[in-house]
């Protein structure tokens, strides 16, 4: 549904270059596979690369948190018959699921692409030193609206534009009963709500997973 933004994103993968690091003492290199920041006392997370932007886009669209949220959203819409054009049926459920997925994909591609302008990192980074559940939840809320740029927190401009812009654009392919300013504002709010749920998944799922014996069996 969004060939142009996706094309731009793919082009940035090979072009985006991180700032040259300043000379520093030799320290063990952080794992390239983890999205969690290194010890805050040792420095800021490594700036996101073009390939990591592409990976984030795919995981945020097709990862377990997004797919599970889609099931809940489609189930809710089917139960209350919204949009009404799809009806209360399995076919209607799949149409609602697909409708949400196209919106999420469009928003994620737009955010990842626009984020190169302000060097925003769209990923959620856990704080490995924070133990208070209240503060951890507060962080998930804060990072719904903020983004990391070279170790500093800034407003997530790309996210604001992506969520608002793609929801306005989606009126061109949505059913008539799901269009209009009221519906668009509601979807924008749900877009940020979905980001909050994604942050909570990244923050708390590792704790839950560690307590599931059948997951951690060797």
Give, for all 218 residues of the chain, the pLDDT tens digit: 444 444 445 444 444 444 444 545 444 444 433 444 433 333 456 889 999 999 999 999 999 989 999 999 999 999 999 999 999 999 999 999 999 999 999 999 999 999 999 999 999 998 888 889 999 999 999 999 999 988 889 999 999 999 999 999 999 999 999 999 999 999 999 999 999 999 999 999 999 888 887 665 55
Residue 99 lies in a domain: yes
Residue 29 lies in a domain: no
Other CB atoms within 10 A of residue 74 CB: 21
Residue 215 lies in a domain: no
DSSP SS3 for 152: strand
The total domain count for the chain is: 1
Q: Which residues contact 150 (CB under 8 A, 6 or more apart)?
A: 19, 44, 47, 119
pLDDT at residue number 46 = 82
Residue 80 lies in a domain: yes
199: Cα within 13 Å, side-chain hemisphere: 24
> Using N-to-C axis directions, what is the helix angle for 181-210 and 157-169, rounded to 10°?
130
Q: Is the dihedral of CA 141, 144, 147, 153 positive or negative?
A: negative
Residue 73 lies in a domain: yes
pLDDT at residue number 215 = 61
Rg of the chain, C-alpha, whole Å:
19
**Tokens linked to 190:** 């749900």
Residue 14 lies in a domain: no
Residue 163 lies in a domain: yes
pLDDT at residue number 37 = 42
Residue 155 lies in a domain: yes
DSSP secondary structure code for residue 129 in this structure: T
Domain that holds residue 142: 46-210
Q: Output helix, strand, coil percentages for the chain, rounded to the nearest 5.
A: 65, 5, 30
CA angle 170, 173, 178 (to 5 degrees): 75
DSSP secondary structure code for residue 120 in this structure: -
CA distance 31 to 33: 5
């Amino acid at each position: 549904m969004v060939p142009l933004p996706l094309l731009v994103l793919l082009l940035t993968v090979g072009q985006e270059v991180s700032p040259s690091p300043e000379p520093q003492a030799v320290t063990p290199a952080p794992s390239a596979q983890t999205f969690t920041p290194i010890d805050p006392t040792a420095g800021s997370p490594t700036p996101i690369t073009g390939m990591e932007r592409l990976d984030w886009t795919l995981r945020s669209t097709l990862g377990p948190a997004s797919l599970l949220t889609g099931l809940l959203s489609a189930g809710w819409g089917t139960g209350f018959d919204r949009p009404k054009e799809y009806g209360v049926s399995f076919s209607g459920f799949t149409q609602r699921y697909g409708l949400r997925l196209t919106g999420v994909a469009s928003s994620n591609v737009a955010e990842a692409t626009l984020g190169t302008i302000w060097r925003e990192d769209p990923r959620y980074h856990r704080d490995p030193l924070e133990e208070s559940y209240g503060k951890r939840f507060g962080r998930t809320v804060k990072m719904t609206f903020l983004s990391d740029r070279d170790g500093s927190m800034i407003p997530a401009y790309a996210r604001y534009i992506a969520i608002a812009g793609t929801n306005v654009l989606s009126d061109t392919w949505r059913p008539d009963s799901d269009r209009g300013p009221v519906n668009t504002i509601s979807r924008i709010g749900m877009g940020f709500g979905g980001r909050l749920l994604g942050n909570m998944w990244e923050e708390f799922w590792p704790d839950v997973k560690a307590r599931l014996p059948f997951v951690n069996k060797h």
